[in-house]
Amino acid sequence: MKARTRARGVALQVLYELDIANHPPAQVLQERLADEPLPVELAEFARQIVFGVLPIREQLDHILARYAPDWPLDQIAAIDRNILRMAAWEFAVQKDTPVKVAINEAVELAKMYGSDSASRFVNGVLGSLVEHHNDVAQFVQNIRKD
């Protein structure tokens, strides 16, 4: 597994736990990094994902619901929902990861952590979202200003 994929996997595990249990984020991240030690730069990347996604989960969910209305968020598995949030954050907010890379990484995470059909589902949702990634970035930026 590629190094950044491992870091994304750690971030996904943290976000998943935070989604289903209201544990302290820093503590959960620390515990996951103890279980899956990463070099400093990759641990920092995982931290950036977690603390980048966390404060804007609602906005990311709103975006996913808006641009992928065929998939009601309350019916999406928590693991898939967090994969989608992470990918949207990476390509629309962080913007250091090329869109295709963010989607490919999300699909890989879905294959590793999701159900048999999760990778196709994640690819489909992100495919519909990618057409609007500039709108997504603008939406999140406007929310942050408020």
Phi then psi dihedrals of residue 131, to 5 deg = -60, -20
Tell me what pLDDT residue 106 has. 97
Tell me what pLDDT residue 17 has. 96
Angle, CA of 92, 98 and 105, to the nearest 5°:
95
Furthest-apart CA pair in the chain: how many Å? 40
Whole-structure pTM over 0.75, yes or no? yes
Tell me what pLDDT residue 143 has. 64
pLDDT < 70 stretches in the chain: 1, 140, 143-146
Tell me what pLDDT residue 145 has. 60
Tell me what pLDDT residue 41 has. 97
